[in-house]
Amino acid sequence: MRTILNVIWLIFAGVWLAIGYAIAGVICCVLIVTIPFGIASFRIAAYALWPFGRTVVRDPDAGALSTIGNIIWLVFAGIWLAIGHVLTSIPLFISVIGIPLGIANLKLIPVSLLPLGARIVDVD
């Protein structure tokens, strides 16, 4: 079932989200100071491609620099990304087939708000 949902997700939403996060990652890596944000964007892009069967866990050893980076990310990008995920999940919830896709879109909110110090792991 996860594979079917991931393929449907990939066709309707995953590719576009992953491309957007990858472009943001490239831009962040070009600006040398923001390389950690670029790496986090690439991690989110990989998660956005195949979200079913995976989840986000916080790394307890992330440290203070991760917290500071998350605050900076939250102010400049995180809030807007979270709003975007909420707004794009609303039309997905309209159809019965889109409900799991809307839930997957909402699953991306925590990692888009605070990406540093987060690991994406398999549910199993």
pLDDT tens-digit map of 79-108 = 999 999 999 999 989 988 889 999 999 999
- Mean pLDDT, rounded, for 7-19: 90
∠ CA 115-3-57, rounded to 5°: 25
Identify the band that residue 25 occupies on the pLDDT scale cut at 50, 70 and 90.
very high
Contact (Cβ atoms closer than 8 angstroms) between residue 119 and residue 77: no
pLDDT exceeds cutoff 90 at 13: no
Confidence (pLDDT) at 61: 86
Contact (Cβ atoms closer than 8 angstroms) between residue 35 and residue 116: no
SS3 breakdown of the chain: % helix, strand, coil, rounded to 5?
75, 10, 20
Confidence (pLDDT) at 75: 93
- Mean pLDDT, rounded, for 11-35: 91
- Mean pLDDT, rounded, for 3-18: 90
Note the pTM of the prediction, 2 decimals: 0.88
Distance CA 14, CA 98 (A): 13
Confidence (pLDDT) at 12: 86
The DSSP element (H or E) to which 88 belongs, if any, is: helix 79-92
Which is nearest to 54 in space by CA: 124, 123, 100?
A: 123
Confidence (pLDDT) at 63: 87
The residues spanned by each domain of the chain are 2-122
